[in-house]
């Protein structure tokens, strides 16, 4: 933007200046009070404003999408020193999107199946949706299977009401591991199967976000076959040169209650909530999690930061499932594999060779060096 210097927004400014800070809800003492365009504060950094806060006037701002905890760049004036009148919110610099030639691995085609728990219906532990999901994966023969928890959910009505005599690890070993063994035996040896823990997972001793991978001792104890590995939560992996970011906490459901917007650039609300994670470079950018959330470990905040711009962002939510491309990033909510007494949804991805796609020049720029999201097709499949 060719900005010579950032200004302190708490000082009076007769001319338009640019400042940065964090969005804060003015109702600090009432966590249940919803944020609105009339209750916005900008919290400055220690360097620029000694952490002081200034009310934001967004009445003349044509477009915005804001939530508590969001880092923003604002342009406007502070005529009286009592509030900052915002003329526009500037887009933050993006993490670099690695060019194909700069990636450690060449971009090669692959297929993937992505699913999120719970994997059984709410009135039993038969895991019929998981059985159907495995049947589909065996028929499709994908190169990658991502199974996101919870596998044994603390929210299952029978466990919550004490209607089961089985311990969580017994449920896993007797009901889930046989399906994982069938999946591992039926796929090619080169195919990868990854489990991702959840904060609702009873078999995981770590209930706060972020979470380490499920330990090898735990996987062995519950009978998970060799060749099935676990990732951390969140995780960033590279598959055939494609960067995939996975966040298995319902940040979208938490954000939907806190966001305030006006004519945002991305009008579809659910993908816009997912885009906040990419724009903020953080897997949980909300300032304060809700009271019913398992908890966010502030001491582990470094593990919640994105290391690189993802090509595909996977963030399951109880909100409506979706797949959307925005600024060359695939935003995906595969939905849950079961919804109460009924089967849910999962996602099937297919990444094709970039050279086989005639992508528009507006996407590729001067060359086809960046990863074109048009090479990726996503299908939401109902179980």
Average pLDDT over residues 249-274: 95
Provide the strand spans (E) within 93-169.
110-116, 144-148
- The span from the CA of 56 to the CA of 51, in Å, is 15
Please tell me which residue, 328 or 373, carries the higher pLDDT value.
328
**pLDDT tens digits for 43-81?**
999 888 999 999 999 999 999 999 999 999 999 999 999
Is pLDDT at 137 greater than 60 in this prediction? yes
Question: In this model, does residue 362 exceed pLDDT 50?
Answer: no
Q: What is the pLDDT of residues 300-318, one digit of tens each?
A: 999 999 988 999 999 999 9
Query: Do residues 130 and 337 lie in contact, with contact meaning Cβ atoms separated by under 8 Å?
Result: yes
3-state secondary structure of 256: helix
Q: Quickly state the pLDDT bin for 262 (edges 50, 70, 90).
A: very high
Average pLDDT of span 214-238: 97
Query: Does the pLDDT value for residue 293 go beyond 90?
Result: no
Give the per-residue pLDDT at 359.
41
CB-based contact 41:53 (threshold 8 Å): yes
Number of Cβ within 10 Å of residue 131's Cβ equals 17
Closest alpha carbon to 149 in 189, 182, 185, 176: 176
| pLDDT at 357 exceeding the cut of 70 | no
DSSP 8-state symbol, 225: P
pLDDT (0 to 100) of residue 205: 93
Q: Which of 96-110, 278-292, 354-368 has the lowest mean pLDDT?
A: 354-368
Q: Is the pLDDT of residue 365 over 90?
A: no
String of b and e for 12-34 (b: at least 16 CB within 10 Å)? ebeeebbbbbbbbbbeeeeeeee
Q: State the pLDDT confidence band at 356, using cuts at 50, 70 and 90.
A: very low
Sheet holding 235-239: strands in order across?
A: 235-239, 242-246, 312-314, 329-333, 322-326
- At what angle are helices 177-186 and 128-140 packed, to 10 degrees? 10
pLDDT, tens digit (0-9, with 9 covering 90-100), for 144-173: 999 999 999 999 999 999 999 999 999 999
- At residue 370, the pLDDT reads 63
Q: DSSP characters for 40-61?
A: EEEEPPHHHHTT-EEEEE-TT-
Q: Which of 20-24, 81-85, 106-110 has the lowest mean pLDDT?
A: 106-110
Q: What is the DSSP letter of 148?
A: E
Cite the beta strand spans of 269-359 per DSSP E.
Answer: 312-314, 322-326, 329-333, 338-339, 342-343, 345-351
Give the residue-averaged pLDDT of 366-374: 56
Q: If we measure between CA atoms, which residue out of 159, 239, 242, 235 comes closest to residue 198?
A: 235
Q: Under a CB-based contact definition with an 8 Å cutoff, are residues 193 and 187 in contact? A: yes
**Number of Cβ atoms within 10 Å of the Cβ of 36:** 11
Tokens of 184: 């591992």
Dihedral, 206, 211, 217, 221 alpha carbons, nearest 10: 60
């Amino acid at each position: 933007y060719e900005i010579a210097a950032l200004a302190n927004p708490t000082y009076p400014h007769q001319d338009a200046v640019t400042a940065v800070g964090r969005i804060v809800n003015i109702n600090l003492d009432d966590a249940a009070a919803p944020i609105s365009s009339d209750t916005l504060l900008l919290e400055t950094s220690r360097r620029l404003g000694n952490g002081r806060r200034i009310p934001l006037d967004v009445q003349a701002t044509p477009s915005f999408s804001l939530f508590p905890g969001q880092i923003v760049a604002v342009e406007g004036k502070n005529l009286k020193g009592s509030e900052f009148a915002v003329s526009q919110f500037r887009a933050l610099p993006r993490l670099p999107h690695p060019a194909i030639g700069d990636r450690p691995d060449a971009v090669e085609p692959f297929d993937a199946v992505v699913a999120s728990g719970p994997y059984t219906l709410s009135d039993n532990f038969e895991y019929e949706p998981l059985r159907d999901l495995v049947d589909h994966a065996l028929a499709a023969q994908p190169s990658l299977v991502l199974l996101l928890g919870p596998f044994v959910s603390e929210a299952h009505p029978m466990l919550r009401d004490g209607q089961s005599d089985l311990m969580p690890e017994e449920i896993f070993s007797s009901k889930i591991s046989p399906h994982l063994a069938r999946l591992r035996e039926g796929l090619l040896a080169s195919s990868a199967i990854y489990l991702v823990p959840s904060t609702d997972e009873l078999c995981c001793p770590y209930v706060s976000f972020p979470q380490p991978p499920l330990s090898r001792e735990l996987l062995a104890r519950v009978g998970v076959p060799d060749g099935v590995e676990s990732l951390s939560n969140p995780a960033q992996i590279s598959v055939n040169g494609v960067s995939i970011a996975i966040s298995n906490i319902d940040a979208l459901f938490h954000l939907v209650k806190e966001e305030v917007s006006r004519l945002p650039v991305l009008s579809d609300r659910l993908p816009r909530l997912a885009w906040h994670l990419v724009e903020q470079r953080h897997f949980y950018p909300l300032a304060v999690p809700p009271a019913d959330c398992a908890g966010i470990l502030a001491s582990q905040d470094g593990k919640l930061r994105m290391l690189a711009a993802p090509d595909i962002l996977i963030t399951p939510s109880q909100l409506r499932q979706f797949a959307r491309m925005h600024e060359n990033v695939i935003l995906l909510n595969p939905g849950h594999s079961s919804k109460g007494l009924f089967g849910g949804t999962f996602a099937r991805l297919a990444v094709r060779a970039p050279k086989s796609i005639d992508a528009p020049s507006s996407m590729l720029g001067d060359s086809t060096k960046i990863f074109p999201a048009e090479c990726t097709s996503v299908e939401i499949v109902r179980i």
